[in-house]
Amino acid sequence: MRQLTRRQAVVLGASGVVVALAGWNGEVLADTKATAEEIAKFTGGKTAEKGKIAIELPEIAENGNTVPLSITVDAPMTADDHVSEVLVLADGNPRPGVARLQFTPLSGKADAAVRIRLATTQNIIVVAKTSKGALYTEQKLVKVTIGGCGG
């Protein structure tokens, strides 16, 4: 069995850092175009109006692997008028789509709490669709630190 020299160990370690920085699977972070395309697919190209959505998200997330997110949409939940679907996007993740939630009048209210994974500091965008075709949107910036040391 051949022993690893110190020089080989340093090269191997540096290669690992390069792979980690580039991303193991070669994906790059989403851009605003990819995020806009996801929103357009969800809304059918219609413009969503601001408001009616409350987003609870920490301003600073010390661990991007598990960030708590709560969403509440202020809308009646009747058979004729209710929130039917909510799309959650993170514009700095390799794939912007984070969650897609579905509701019915039996849900009682349109709210959900999940934990999401974030690659870096970025905007969380929420788009809600109602059974009557109304669209609402809201966004919030979350700063993801690395080990609580900033970043």
Tokens of 125: 């965008």
The C-alpha atoms of residue 101 and residue 127 are separated, in whole angstroms, by 10
Share the mean pLDDT of the chain: 84
DSSP state of 105: G
Task: Give the chain's domains with CATH numbers.
Answer: 29-144 (2.60.40.2470)
| Predicted confidence (pLDDT) per residue in 108-133, tens digit | 999 999 999 998 999 999 999 999 99
- Locate 20 and state its tokens: 């980690």
CB atoms under 10 Å from CB of 46, counted, come to 13
DSSP H helices, the chain, are: 6-22, 32-43
64 has a pLDDT exceeding 60:
yes
Q: How much is the pLDDT for 22? A: 41
- Residue 4, pLDDT > 70, answer no
Radius of gyration of the chain (CA): 20
pLDDT of residue 32: 80
Residue 7's pLDDT band, with cuts at 50, 70 and 90, is: low
Q: What percent of the chain has pLDDT over 70?
A: 75
Is residue 82 a contact partner of residue 31, using CB atoms and an 8 Å limit? no
The yes-or-no verdict on residue 137 having pLDDT over 90 is: yes
Is the pTM higher than 0.85? The answer reads no
Residues with Cβ within 8 Å of 140's Cβ and at least 6 positions away in sequence, in order, are: 55, 57, 123, 124
Chain segment 17-63, per-residue pLDDT in tens: 434 444 444 445 557 889 999 999 999 999 999 999 999 999 999 88
Tokens 């970043």 belong to residue? 151
Residues 27, 19: Cα–Cα separation, whole Å: 11
Q: Residue 99: is its pLDDT beyond 60?
A: yes
